[in-house]
Amino acid sequence: MERISALELLSKFDPELIDLTQKETERQRTTINLIASENCVSPLVACLEGSIWANKNSEGYPGRRYVAGCELADKVENLAIDRLKELFQCEHANVQSMSATVGNVAILNAVLKPGDTILSMELSHGGHLSHGAPFHYSGKMFNVVHYGVARETEKIDLGQVRKLAQQHQPKMIICGTSSYPRLIDFAAFGEIAKSVGALLFVDLAHNIGLVAAGVIPSPVPYADIVSSSTHKTFRGPRGGGIILCRQELAGKIDRAVFPGLQGASKLDMIAARAVLFKECMTAEYKRYGKQVLVNAKALADGCLNQGMRLVAGGTDTHLVVVDVTKLVPSGKEAEAVLESVGIIANKNPIPFDALPPNTCSGVRMGSPFLTTRGMKEKEMYLIGTLVGKALHNYQDSPALAEIREQLLGLAVRYPLFAAEWLPQKA
Ligand SMILES: *Cc1c(COP(=O)(O)O)cnc(C)c1O
């Protein structure tokens, strides 16, 4: 009730902000969102994000706080930690970092010294900026060597990983990607890391929801440290990272997050994630994970049907990267054409891209958001086909207008969060 009356007051006091919020709600409902790193939280998560917990300072860790009145805060943070440990069968979990990128910096600081060597995936082949990009803290502080995908298969070249590991003797090997559509062989990475005495750090930001749902393999048995965001396939609140690690690294990791990098954490976000972790243990969530995979494949098939080339030959996950240069001049052009018909996706470099990063040759598309809305393979295949048709007809305004109408009709039939994913046993 309090929230409803606050909303009424807000609409009188700040009509500008309410107007923008309503328009954004409309935008999300009327467009086909294929951004692979976006999702829509459940009403349970939304209820706790921005809740009363946001008022509480809980600097420190459960049982070791720097402020009083934390008895309940301790219980909330411990709930989040215990559920995460159960969900991923890991020894230790930290839930305080303010973003996955900050969490990654904490991990590097925890176990490396400045100048140490890291072996990680090339950004343009699907890696992440926090894995040693020259413009990021990680690239400035550490000596970074990159592996990538093989030119012919566009899949991770494990032979190259092994060779570079032997040659450079890194202290840490990083795997985990932002735009790589295939599964990563964590066991092989673990074996290579062990053979050169390196730590294996897996950044699971994109795929973690699929691991939580049990539909793709977990890196936990092979990795020393695993990090993730919670707002991508996981379907939790945006902002905030999690770190999982072996018990012997727990103290170092915790100290590197707080006080090494951050002050007080954000308890409302921790509470919102605690309920997410409980959702992840339900049959509905497992079904959601399966549907995300099936939907990504259907989307890929639709694209293939229109003569588009799939990077790495297809997908094992929630995302597809297509080379669009047979149909339009660049990924940048494709992104704009797609937005004009109501499809939201992002341009993305492809491995060994002939075009510069700001135009690039690819588009990345993912299924998590539309799956949350309740779309199934039939709709995803149709959407893949319409992506192709829009690109084929990129200079034909009447054809594009027709596609826009068809997609609008599809989008408005679905809620943002389909009731079928809500926990049924409450
Ligand atoms: C998205 C992503 C991150 C960053 O997550 P933020 O919460 O936005 O900081 C880190 N690593 C990988 C591989 C990602 O895809």
Output Rg (C-alpha) for the chain, integer angstroms: 22
pLDDT tens digits, one per residue of 237-289: 998 899 999 999 999 999 999 999 999 999 999 999 999 999 999 999 999 99
pLDDT of residue 44: 97
Beta bridge pairs of residue 364: 321, 346
pLDDT of residue 5: 83
φ and ψ of 237, to 5 deg: -70, 145
> 203 CB less than 6 Å from ligand 1?
yes
> 37 CB less than 6 Å from ligand 1?
yes
> 120 CB less than 6 Å from ligand 1?
no
Picking from 216, 221, 228, 200, the residue whose alpha carbon sits closest to that of residue 99 is: 228
> CATH class for domain 52-279?
alpha beta
307: tokens are 């003569």
Burial of 158: CB neighbours in 10 Å, binned 0-12, 13-18, 19+: middle
Report whether 322 contacts 311 (CB < 8 A). yes
278: tokens are 């409980």
pLDDT of residue 199: 98
> 101 CB less than 6 Å from ligand 1?
yes
Cβ-proximal residues to 132 (8 Å cutoff; 6+ apart), any chain: 118, 120, 138, 139, 142, 144, 146, 174
Q: What is the distance in A from the centroid of ligand 1 to the CA of 240?
A: 10
pLDDT of residue 426: 72
Report whether 104 contacts 203 (CB < 8 A). yes
Q: What is the distance in A from the centroid of ligand 1 to the CA of 217?
A: 20
243: tokens are 């770190």
Cβ-proximal residues to 230 (8 Å cutoff; 6+ apart), any chain: 208, 236, 237, 238, 240, 241, 242, 273, 276
> 179 CB less than 6 Å from ligand 1?
no
Q: What is the distance in A from the centroid of ligand 1 to the CA of 132?
A: 13
pLDDT of residue 6: 82
Q: What is the distance in A from the centroid of ligand 1 to the CA of 228?
A: 7
132: tokens are 């040693």
Is 3.90.1150.10 the CATH number for 283-421? yes
Pocket probe for ligand 1: among 98, 128, 211, the residue whose CB has the most ligand atoms within 8 Å is 128
> 319 CB less than 6 Å from ligand 1?
no
* CA gap 229, 41 in Å, rounded: 14
Domain spans of the chain, in order of start: 52-279, 283-421
- Sign of the alpha-carbon torsion through 135, 136, 137, 143: negative
- State the number of CA atoms in the 13 A half-sphere of 154 facing the CB: 23
Low pLDDT (below 50) residues in the chain: 1
